[in-house]
């Protein structure tokens, strides 16, 4: 995991310093907060010292008073910047699954006794997106925070190292802490259109390949039933609705009379076969079709709906990374 960087005050090194905290919750306190001057803070201190030299050399009180005022503000900023983070509590929220290679949302719950301004949250190795660079205001009480991140690998993944920092109120100091949230987020295989396989049934050829993510007869339906709220709009029988027969849904069936059981296509690299299956399952679910999934380590009977889709995608996400995915025999 690449080291985190905080680009506050033109410095990139604070995000690599400090002890890394781990777990599902983090409470910022003296033991895990670190603070150093920013580039602007160093220039501010240099200006105050220069004014003192000028005041002493010229025997004038004006430069000396201004230098003491600048030093007082810098000392005050040291405590105010530290207090802006001290006492803040962060906890992992309940995340929603997503697909590898696409934007993911990692939720956090923040608890604070008072409002906090100009708080930056950045995940290591995720780049400095416009949302991550934008300072956030955390209100008093309990609030929700969302972290944008991407993951190229499927499975149960953690986002890595989170750097919490602030330069408020004057930008003279940067205060930060490093935390590795332990709660993992489900990441489905990336969706990539391509061939998948069908489990052979009695009297049919084994492993009939579905080319291009489609299936002959997938648009054929044989019956109508009352439309349910969870049914896709693509299944709505518009012709029957225009005839005044009410809202009816098309019932799809495989041309062979049984719902298809999807399986990885033979001859493909395992991860690529999983990406093809993820795209096929997503498309069939959008069309409201009935389908099942067969993998070497488990079989999911035919079904439909969002819960069935999520169950199949979760099986793909947790599929073993070693060995072949094609069933033999």
For 188-206, the pLDDT digits (tens) are 999 999 888 888 654 444 4
Contacts of 267 (CB under 8 A, 6+ apart): none
pLDDT of residue 207: 43
pLDDT over 80 (residue 182): yes
- Model pLDDT, residue 320: 87
For residue 176, give Cα distances in angstroms to 13, 81, 128. 11, 10, 16
Q: What's the rounded Cα separation, in Å, for the pair 192 and 182?
A: 29
pLDDT at 3 over 50: no
Looking at per-residue pLDDT, the higher value among 229 and 150 belongs to: 150
Average pLDDT score over the chain: 82
Residue 3 Cα distances to 91, 107, 122, 174, angstroms: 22, 22, 11, 17
Quickly state the pLDDT bin for 208 (edges 50, 70, 90): very low
- Stretch 245-273: mean pLDDT: 77
Are 156 and 185 in contact, with CB atoms under 8 Å apart? Answer: yes
User: How far is 301 from 285, CA to CA, in rounded Å?
Assistant: 15
Q: What is the pTM of this model?
A: 0.73
């Amino acid at each position: 995991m690449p080291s985190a960087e905080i680009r506050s005050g033109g410095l990139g090194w604070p995000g690599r310093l400090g002890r890394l905290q781990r777990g599902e919750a983090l409470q910022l306190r003296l033991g895990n907060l670190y603070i150093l001057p920013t580039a602007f803070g160093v220039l501010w201190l240099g200006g105050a010292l220069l004014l003192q030299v000028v005041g002493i050399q010229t025997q004038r009180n004006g430069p000396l008073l201004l230098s003491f005022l600048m030093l007082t503000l810098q000392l005050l900023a040291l405590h105010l910047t530290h207090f802006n983070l001290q006492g803040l509590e962060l906890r992992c929220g309940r995340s929603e699954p997503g697909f590898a290679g696409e934007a993911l949302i990692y939720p956090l719950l923040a608890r604070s006794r008072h409002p906090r301004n100009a708080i930056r949250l950045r995940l290591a190795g995720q780049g400095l997106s416009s949302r991550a660079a934008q300072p956030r205001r955390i209100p008093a009480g309990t609030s929700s925070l969302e972290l944008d991140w991407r993951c190229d690998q499927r499975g149960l993944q953690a986002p890595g190292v989170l750097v919490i920092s602030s330069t408020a109120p004057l930008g003279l100091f940067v205060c930060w802490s490093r935390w590795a949230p332990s709660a993992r987020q489900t990441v489905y295989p990336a969706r990539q259109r391509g061939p998948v396989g069908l489990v052979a049934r009695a009297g049919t050829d084994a492993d009939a390949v579905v080319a291009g993510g489609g299936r002959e007869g997938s648009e054929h339906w044989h019956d109508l039933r009352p439309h349910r709220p969870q049914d896709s709009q693509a299944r709505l029988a518009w012709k029957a609705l225009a005839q005044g027969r009410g809202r009816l849904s098309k019932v799809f069936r495989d041309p062979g009379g049984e719902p298809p059981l999807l399986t990885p296509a033979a001859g493909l690299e395992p991860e690529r076969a999983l990406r093809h299956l993820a795209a096929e399952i997503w498309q069939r679910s959008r069309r409201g079709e009935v389908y099942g999934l067969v993998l070497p380590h488990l079989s999911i009977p035919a079904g439909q709906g969002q819960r069935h889709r999520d169950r199949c995608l979760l099986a793909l996400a947790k599929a073993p990374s070693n060995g072949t995915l094609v069933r033999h025999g």
